[in-house]
Structure 1
Amino acid sequence: MILLIEESKLINLKEIAFKALEQNSSIPIDLSKDILSFAESGFKEFKTQEKVASAFKKLGQRNISDNLAITGLKTTLDTGKEGPSIAILGELDGLPVPGHPFENPQSGVAHACGHHIQIGSMLSTLIAIKEPEVLTRLSGKITFMAVPAEEFVEIEWRNNQRKGGKIEFLGGKQEFIKLGFFDDIDISMMTHTTPRNIKFSYGGTDNGLVAKFVEFKGIASHAGASPESGINALNAANIAIAAINSQRETFKDEDHIRVHPIITKGGSVVSAVPDSVNLETFVRGASIEAIKDTSKKIDNCIKAGAMATGASVKITTLPGYLPLQNDTNLMDIYVNNLKETYSNKDLQVDGHSGGSTDMGDVSHIMPAIHPYVGGSEGISNHSADMVTKDYNLAVIESGKMMASTIIDLLMDDGKKAKEVLENFTPILSKKEYLELLRELSSEVFYESSHNIT
């Protein structure tokens, strides 16, 4: 009987949170739609930061920290009672997607991965938990983080920011971890959008990655009159790509290796032998060991292109993201809330994805979950037709599910949150994490011995 009474109180508390959110649902939905109209890429989300800060203030938040890792911000709800600390995350950035219907005309950046929805979902959770009847029943703190630069793009530009000392790592959550913004956080969660025809999905794993910025240098000459006098850097890059493709049969299926190079600079004029060509690629894998092993193979392929043509090459390897590991105990609590609202046909258990997220980094140092919400359409995330249609599902319902999970975790002096923490063993300490990222960072210069005579 006591258990039934406690469950009834819990359900009632969640209903109060849901009602508060439903009565204010226009606030997070309007913010998501506003952000959609002017998408900004990573570490450049200045206008987006202003909009999120304004929304926090509109909801009565005064303890707002901004300009974190250039454009990030956060605010905290404090119950006034001792207990675990939970972070709800949203991502600020879009990515260049030419042809997207909401492409920023100045930059070509669009929210083709739905990060504008994440910000709305984060705000929905804040509205639900901030309700006094809810917050006073909880213990601990809830921090709402709007984090920059999840999309690992514009590598050359970000690498220049790194060289200039503005950032050390190219991902927003990596910078947040390094700068100490997760030091007082025990548990993290966020909800990502998907164009798949489901309500919610959960429980999957993701690849990690390293990124490579490659600069081939040759010798320019007249492409028609004297090509033999030059060294063709574009040929070096093409041979490197062919060599990479020849390695694919060596990739183990269970490692889920993905290598997908692009040429970002292919020459200046068609009448000259290209003397400067840039290539970018990710090396993705399901484990850190697989990523390291494949990274060495790719470096050899790149050097082979330079050796074959007589070009020189500089390979800058940058630490990307670690493989995502959803915490099973935390996920169980979240899924119980899903199943109280949705039928099994609306839900999907995820397998392994070849994509990557810096939430993987967070999951290595604390319990974290990264479920997905539907409501969007398109070929896939990052496609030009990826758009959100059902804002109530994507923004409001996802916020309800995270709010319900917070209530479960922080009721009864944070009993369930403490149980999650007791059963969690970090894969890496913060110190070990930073050491690993710095170990993965390298610059290698290879100068061919081939001489033009």
Structure 2
Amino acid sequence: MTASVPGPVPAAQLKERARAAIEACRERLLDLSEDLQRHPETGFREHRTAATVAGWFTELGLPFESDLSLTGVKARMPGRTPGPTVAVLGELDALVLPRHPLADPETGAAHACGHHAQVASMIGAAVGLAAVRQHLDGDVAFLAVPAEESVELEWRREQVRAGELKHLVGKADLLARGAFDDVDMAMLCHTSGQPARLSVGDSHNGSVVKRITFTGRASHAGSSPWHGVNALKAATLAISAIDAQRDTFRDEDAVRVNAVLPHGGDAPTAVPDRAELEVVIRARTLDALRGACAAVDRAAWAGAMALGARATTETTLNYLPHHQDPALVEVARTNGTALFGPGAVAPGRHLGASTDMGDLGAVMPVLHPFTAGATGDAHSVDYAVTDHVLAALEPAVLMAWCVIDLLVDGAAQAHDVLARRERRTAAKPDERPAADRYSDFRAGFDGLTHYDGTHDTVRGTEGEL
């Protein structure tokens, strides 16, 4: 005797069932968002937050994997029949912002970007979809992903060198490890301090990180500075050369170059023989990103040559440019309008910030709406989620409704999303695992380049831009 398959139920009824289930769990979900806000953890170290997520998955009866890319947690909710897999994501990590009012006094971590609310909305979506899973023609994966923020980079580089990580940010590392090989499309909701209730269709810059080490020769700064090679001055010349490039970047490419000087010598009594620059380069497209990286490389080489120093540049692709899938944007806009009203849904815009949803979007359709509920400027000491209903509960309903639309009626809308993406790219479906497709997008960025300004020669190793 075979189990009967439930008959068709209108999507509108399924959405109301999902919303009712989320509302029944309302106070617990709001408490979850507030609790995680009070216990921030930085990327790849989110052990408490990951354990909390695992506890919810256990309660919902969802089998899960843990310790993915050190702290990631992935559960799977099968539908009634096989079909596409839609992933709902929540980012586990916080920023390093010691002066934030809610910062951890020991680590300086603070939720100044609202990821705690994302996790609560992912759990809320799981609660809602669990009530209708027997009517979905496909699976839902729930992934609590580590390390979206680009912080503590040197510690992360050490983990890469030790083989503990493959990449510096979470979704890139999960992609490389095959955690998204069985996923067809993905979504998350991000809070913001915007006036609109919902913003759908935003895009983001890609990002490259360069650590440039200038090496000179130490000497007595008072009695014999002419015997030295000043690495600090080579670095400051490089910064000036970077600044001189700014008006050469096209407005439409949205290029941003930001640099800090974490080391500039050991004592003012000696000519500095080592200086370090950390540079973040952002741009709207891969071509613009490559062009801006080349400009920064030239600036570093010019600083080294001017002082007769050496420069070593370690280049790491941090985030790919992020562009949302138009078909998924339509699904979210329709559901957002039904939930909040047509005047509450803002059109997408391009943002100069970066997100590793861009990496995921390079290999599959992604959705990344912004919801209200926060005040202040993101990544600043005045940012805080002040309305957890807007930031966590309503996004849970929105994502549950989107998944229902995608996976009812034989998953017709999900199949349409995938077919439209193939038509836009004018390519045959790439059946390779997501990990293999992702490696193609990263090719040519990561690498190490050496410049010897004492001999006017340049040589590079794998991945030179």
Normalised by the length of structure 2, the TM-score is: 0.91
Q: Quick one: which of 212, 216, 226 aligns to 1:218?
A: 216
CA deviation after TM superposition for structure 1 residue 403, in Å: 0.3
1:24-43 alignment runs, 5 A limit = 24-43=25-44
1:56-67 to structure 2, matched below 5 A, reads 56-61=57-62, 63-67=63-67
1:398 to 390, 395, 400: 395
Coordinate RMSD, CA, aligned = 1.9
Distance 1:223 1:46 in 2: 48
| Residues 134-283 of structure 1: pairs in structure 2 closer than 5 A | 134-283=132-281
Q: Structure 1 CA distance, aligned partners of 2:26 and 2:276? A: 47
How many Å separate the matches in 2 of 1:47 and 1:271? Answer: 46
Amino acid paired to 1:255: D
Tell me if 1:381 matches 2:378: yes
Q: Is the Cα contact below 8 Å between 2:262 and 2:278 reproduced in 1? A: yes
Corresponding residue of 1:420? 417
Query: Structure 1 residues 229, 395: CA separation in 2 closer, same or farther (over 3 Å shift)?
Result: same
Question: What amino acid maps onto 1:12 in structure 2?
Answer: Q
- For residues 385-422 of structure 1, give each alpha carbon's deviation from its aligned partner in whole angstroms, at most 9, with x where no partner exists: 11000001110000100000111111112111111111
Distance 2:411 2:8 in 1: 16
Q: Per-residue displacement from partner, 1:332-358 (whole Å, max 9, x unpaired)?
A: 011101111223332211211111111
d(CA) in 2 for partners of 1:266 and 1:375? Answer: 41
- The superposition leaves residues 320-378 of structure 1 with CA deviations (integer Å, 9 ceiling, x where unpaired) of 21111111111101110111122333221121111111101111111111110110000
Residue 44 of structure 1 corresponds to which residue in structure 2? 45
* Structure 2 CA distance for partners of 1:184 and 1:8, relative to 1, 3 Å: closer
* Matching residue of 2:449: 444
- Offset of residue 152 of structure 1: 1.7
Q: Relative to 1, partners in 2 of residues 1:26 and 1:58: Cα closer, same or farther, differing over 3 Å?
A: farther
Structure 2 alignment gaps of length 5 or more: 1-6, 457-465
Aligned to 1:435: 440
| Change in 2 beyond 3 A, CA 1:65/1:8 | closer
Deviation at 1:158, TM superposition (A): 1.4
- Given that 2:282 and 2:352 are in contact with CA atoms closer than 8 Å, whether structure 1 keeps it comes out as yes
Ranges in structure 1 where 5+ consecutive residues have no aligned partner: 1-5
Q: Distance in 1 between matches of 2:455 and 2:287?
A: 34
Provide Cα deviations, 1:408-441, integer angstroms capped at 9, x if missing partner. Answer: 1111121111111111128687434303314211
Structure 1 position 126, deviation (Å)? 0.5
State the Cα distance separating 1:222 from its structure 2 match: 3.4
Q: Which moved more, 1:227-236 or 1:397-406?
A: 227-236
Letter in 2 for 1:447: D
Against the structure 1 CA distance between its residues 25 and 271, is the aligned structure 2 distance closer, same or farther, given a 3 Å change threshold? farther
Q: Report the CA distance shift for 1:387/1:261 in structure 2 as closer, same or farther (over 3 A).
A: same
Q: Name the structure 2 match of 1:3.
A: none
Cα distance in 1 for partners of 2:292, 2:419 equals: 35
| CA-CA distance at 1:381 after TM superposition | 1.2
| Residue 20 of structure 1: how far off its partner (Å) | 0.8
Percent identity of paired positions between Structure 1 and Structure 2? 38
Matched ranges for 1:310-349 at <5 A = 310-349=308-347
3-state SS of 2:353 partner: coil
Quote the Cα distance in structure 2 between the aligned partners of 1:147 and 1:166.
16
Distance across 2 between alignment mates of 1:26 and 1:236: 57
Q: How far has the Cα of 1:55 moved from its partner?
A: 2.3
Aligned to 1:110: 110
Counterpart CA distance in 2 for 1:301 and 1:312 is 13
SS in 1 for 2:77: strand
Q: Take 1:145 and 1:75, find their aligned partners in 2: how far apart are those partners?
A: 7
Report the AA paired with residue 72 of structure 2: G
Shift in Å, 1:250:
0.8
1:169/1:438 Cα in 2 relative to 1: closer, same or farther (>3 Å)? farther
Match of 2:365 in 1: 367
Tell me, in whole angstroms, the C-alpha distance in 1 between the residues paired with 2:403 and 2:329: 12
Q: Distance in 2 between matches of 1:108 and 1:226?
A: 42
Shift of 1:450: 7.2
* Aligned partner letter, 1:347: V
- What is the CA distance between 1:7 and its match in structure 2? 12
Secondary structure at the counterpart of residue 444 of structure 2? helix
Total equivalences in the alignment = 442
Q: Secondary structure at the match of 1:279?
A: strand
